[in-house]
């Protein structure tokens, strides 16, 4: 696998941050819609898993 240069690392880090902000906003929106809907619950769990664990893994892979 080819290593990223500094410019590529900064671009991918910026994209990861933007994606995380979008997911955070969607978590607020889906939280307002929360009901007994299993799909919304699954989406919330996956979103929070990304926000808590996925970002760390992505940054480790990018900056390794």
The pTM (predicted TM-score) of the whole model is 0.82
CB neighbours of residue 47 within 10 Å: 19
Cβ-based neighbours of 34, under 8 Å, separated by 6 or more? 40, 41, 44
Please tell me the distance from the alpha carbon of residue 47 to that of residue 16, in angstroms, as a whole number.
14
Please tell me the distance from the alpha carbon of residue 32 to that of residue 43, in angstroms, as a whole number.
13
- pLDDT band at residue 1 using 50, 70 and 90 as cut-offs: low
pLDDT in tens, 9-52: 999 999 999 999 999 999 989 888 877 778 888 889 999 999 99
Note the pLDDT of residue 37. 79
- pLDDT band at residue 58 using 50, 70 and 90 as cut-offs: very high
């Amino acid at each position: 696998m080819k290593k990223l240069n500094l410019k590529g690392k900064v671009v991918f880090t910026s994209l990861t941050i933007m994606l995380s902000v979008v997911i955070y906003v969607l978590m607020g929106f889906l939280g307002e819609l929360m009901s007994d809907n299993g799909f919304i619950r699954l989406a919330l769990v996956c979103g929070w898993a990304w926000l808590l664990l996925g970002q760390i893994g992505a940054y480790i892979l990018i900056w390794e």
